[in-house]
Structure 1
Amino acid sequence: MMRHATAPGLGDPAGFVLADCSTQRNIDSRGRAEAQRWGESLRARGITRVRLFSSRWCRALDTAREMALGEVRPLPSLDSFISDSHRSDAHVATLRRDLAAMPPGDPLVLVTHQINFTALTGIFPRSGEAAIIELPLADPVRVLARVPTP
C-alpha cells in the first residue's frame, strides 16, 4: 500500500470534480519522478507482474500509471474520505472486505491517500511512502515493512 506521490498543497479545491483532473490537486514533476522510481525499484527486484489498484483521484491514478507496471484498476474503497472522515470505520471496513475478496495471485499494489493509509495501518506516511502489509489482513493490520519514497 502506498500514498500517492508528491502533489503540492493540501486537500482539493472547493467544488472539485472527481472526473475532472483540472479541478483537483495533482502530482507535479517531482511526483511523476517518484512514481517512475517506484516502478523501476519494483522491476529491479523482479516484481514485474502486479495487480495494480488505485483511488479514483487523479493524483493516485497518475501515480499508479507513472509506475508503468500494467493496467491500473480504480478501486473506490481506496478513495479519500477526508470530507467524510467521521465515516472512517465504515470506509476501512469496505476496504478490508474488498481486499479479503481478492483471490491469491500476483502481488497487490494499492495507491491511496494519507487518510486511508493511516486509518488502516496507524502510520502517517509521507507522499510516495509505502508499507508492505500482510494479507489476509489481521486486526490490527500487520505492517511487515515501511518503504520510504524512492
Structure 2
Amino acid sequence: MQRPIPRRAILAGLAPIAGAPALAQPTPDAEAAWQALAEGGIALFRHAIAPGGGDPPGMRLGDCGTQRNLDEAGRAQARRIGATFRDRGIVVGAVRASAWCRAMETAELAFPGRARAEPAFNSFFGARQDQEARTAAARRLMLAWDGPGALFVATHQVNITALTSIFPASGEGVVLRRDGEALVVVGRIRP
C-alpha cells in the first residue's frame, strides 16, 4: 500500500517553482501580531469566505455578477475582522484592497467607507505572468507605509503566498513589519 504524501512536502516541492522559499519560517503567536499592528504594522488579509476557487469563465473586473463573491458566512467573517480590530483598539490608517469584488467587499464590510482599490494587490491567479510585477509593486507599497496606524490590505491567497510563503485561510491575516528594506512576518491572526 502506498502512503500518501504529506501536504507540507507537496507545498515545499512547489514553492521553488513559484519563486518562494521552500518552507515558510515559523511565525510567532497571534498576540505578537496584534502588538505589531498596534505599532503601525501591516495586515495582509485573504478575502473572507467566497465559496469555490478562481473565477468563472468570462469574469470581468468591475462586474461582481461575473465573479466568485462572498457568501453570508464570508460577509459575517468580514464584519468580524473589523470588529476585532476595533475591540483591540487597533488604529487603521489606510484600507487597501484588490479590485476583485470579494476583496473590496471584505475591506468595505470590515472598515465601512474606507476601502480603496490598489492594483498592486489584484489577483494573478489566472495570469501568472503578472506575479513578479504585482508582488514587487505590493512590496514597494508596503515598504513605503509609515502610518499613522496600521495598513490593512484585503487581497488573495496567491498574492500573500508570493509575498510571505504562507498559504492563509479565507479571512486570515498575515501581519508584517518593516525592518529596514525588508518585510518581516510577525504572525498570523484569525479574528
TM-score (norm 2): 0.72
What's the counterpart of residue 85 of structure 1? Answer: 128
- Rounded to whole Å, the distance in 1 between the matches of 2:168 and 2:136 is 20
* Greater alpha carbon shift after TM alignment, 70-79 vs 111-120: 70-79
In structure 2, stretches of 5+ residues that fail to align are 1-43
Contact 2:143 2:181 survives alignment (8 Å): no
Local SS of the residue matching 1:135 = strand
Deviation digits for residues 9-67 of structure 1, max 9, x if unmatched?
A: 01101111101000000000000000111111000011244310000000000000111
Whether 1:146 and 2:188 are equivalent positions in the alignment is yes
**Higher Rg:** 2
Local SS of the residue matching 2:107 = helix
Whether 1:129 and 2:172 are equivalent positions in the alignment is yes
Contact 2:95 2:111 survives alignment (8 Å): no
Aligned AA (1:9): G
Contact 1:50 1:69 survives alignment (8 Å): no
Contact 1:50 1:70 survives alignment (8 Å): no
State the shift of 1:83 in Å: 1.5
What's the counterpart of residue 83 of structure 2? Answer: 40
Q: How many residues align?
A: 148
Q: Mark the CA change 1:146 to 1:77 in structure 2 (over 3 Å): closer, same or farther.
A: same
RMSD: 1.7
Aligned AA (2:66): T
- Rounded to whole Å, the distance in 2 between the matches of 1:49 and 1:99 is 14
In structure 1, stretches of 5+ residues that fail to align are none
Contact 2:92 2:149 survives alignment (8 Å): yes
Q: Mark the CA change 1:69 to 1:107 in structure 2 (over 3 Å): closer, same or farther.
A: farther
